[in-house]
Amino acid sequence: MTAVDTDGWVRTSRDGAVLTVTLDRPDHLNAQTPATWTALRAVGDSLGDDVRVVVVRGNGRSFSAGLDRSLFSADPSTAGGLGQLGSMPAESAQERIREYQAGFRWLRSPGIVSVAAVQGHAIGAGAQLALACDLRVMTEDASLRLPEATLGLVPDLTGTSNLAELVGYARAMEVCVTGRPVTAAEALTWGVANAVVPAGDLDGAVATLVAALTAPPAGAVRETAALVRSAVRNTPEAQDAAERAAQARRLAELAAR
């Protein structure tokens, strides 16, 4: 196993085909900054073809409490702060946010399945990071919350599309507008969480899920994951065509063996 420290309090470790990405600011409940998102994007950009599963987790008692408090400064001279973003021309601000979003969107890249291991709080950017993953394992005391609207803002780190895809229009609207927490029990009922376990069982539950994800042949998993991702947006006709094409590729590869 290898371990690498990246900028922005993000640590990575590799065990075979599994890459673990850890937010490592436990004394700040893994609060995030632009440096965190830059580091996450760098991890995504450096993924090798031999990585099959990415596990995202937070060190300490919380997955991530969201934005670092320093970013709420209205002072435009505060680097990466909301005041600085607000003082930019609209095009520049949107481009900056697009760069931040890239730190989240790669978690549904072709070739990998991503798993969030969520304990304690996952608030704002923390909730959006968990939602950016394909799958989530949560502890019984965990909760997800998107409080941006209550602060006069909006979720802008890929959270709205991922949440609506998971829970549907009405529930996504309620959660995003009210900013109320979604408990682990609700997350399990809604299909946001794949499993909810006692805090002491989180590592074991994630390891069991990862073992199941890496058990089938890599090519079949990658094709299947791509199909499931496209199914939520494709028309039935387009999805049928995608299935035919994927199966033809799989049959050709098997025949070649």
Given a contact cutoff of 8 angstroms between Cβ atoms, the answer to whether 60 and 29 are in contact is yes
**C-alpha angle 20-26-29 in degrees, rounded to nearest 5:** 105
**Which run of H or E residues covers position 14?**
strand 10-15
pLDDT at 70: 85
Q: Which pLDDT score, from 0 to 100, does residue 119 have?
A: 98
Give the separation between CA 165 and CA 155, rounded to whole angstroms: 15
- Report the mean per-residue pLDDT for the chain: 94
Per-residue pLDDT for 55 more than 80?
yes
SS3 helix, strand, coil % of the chain, rounded to 5? 50, 20, 30
Tokens of 208: 């069991």
- What single-letter amino acid sits at 110? P
At how many degrees (to 10) do helices 125-132 and 90-105 cross? 50
pLDDT tens digits, one per residue of 62-102:
999 999 988 887 778 777 788 888 999 999 999 999 999 99
The domains of the chain, with CATH numbers, are 3-215 (3.90.226.10), 218-256 (1.10.12)
What predicted TM-score, i.e. pTM, was given to this entire model?
A: 0.94
List the single range of 67-81, 101-115, 194-208 with lowest mean pLDDT. Answer: 67-81
Nearest to 105 by CA among 47, 152, 20, 183: 47
